[in-house]
């Protein structure tokens, strides 16, 4: 059985993509793009302590993603 991507995994994938994108932009476009990396890292850090993640809220509303706990509860 194939499960849908969870909200947590989607946020992790998005954050990883943004870090890689910002590194590429820093290298190929302008060094100031490094601040995007700093912003993504700061958001991940604060989310670990507060649980507040704007990207997760947007993904939940736009794509209807569910947390892993919600997916497991729906399956049983």
Residue-range definition of the domain harbouring residue 33: 7-75
Asked whether residue 47 is assigned to any structural domain, the reply reads yes
For residues 28 and 74, what is the distance between their CA atoms, to the nearest angstrom? 45
Asked whether residue 34 is assigned to any structural domain, the reply reads yes
For residues 73 and 16, what is the distance between their CA atoms, to the nearest angstrom? 28
For residue 40, is pLDDT > 60?
yes
Average pLDDT over every residue of 11-26:
97
**CB-side neighbour CA atoms (13 Å) of 52:** 3
Write down the pTM of the prediction.
0.84
Residue of 73 and 34 predicted with greater confidence: 34
Average pLDDT over every residue of 29-42:
97
Asked whether residue 1 is assigned to any structural domain, the reply reads no
Asked whether residue 66 is assigned to any structural domain, the reply reads yes
The residue assigned the tokens 């990883």 is 16
**Number of separate domains in the chain:** 1
């Amino acid at each position: 059985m194939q499960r849908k991507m969870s909200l947590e995994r989607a946020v992790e994938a998005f954050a990883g993509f943004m870090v890689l994108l910002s590194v590429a932009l820093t290298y190929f476009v302008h060094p100031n793009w490094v601040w995007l990396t700093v912003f993504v890292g700061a958001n991940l850090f604060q989310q670990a302590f507060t649980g507040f993640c704007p990207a997760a809220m947007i993904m939940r509303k736009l794509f209807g993603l569910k947390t892993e706990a919600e997916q497991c509860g729906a399956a049983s």
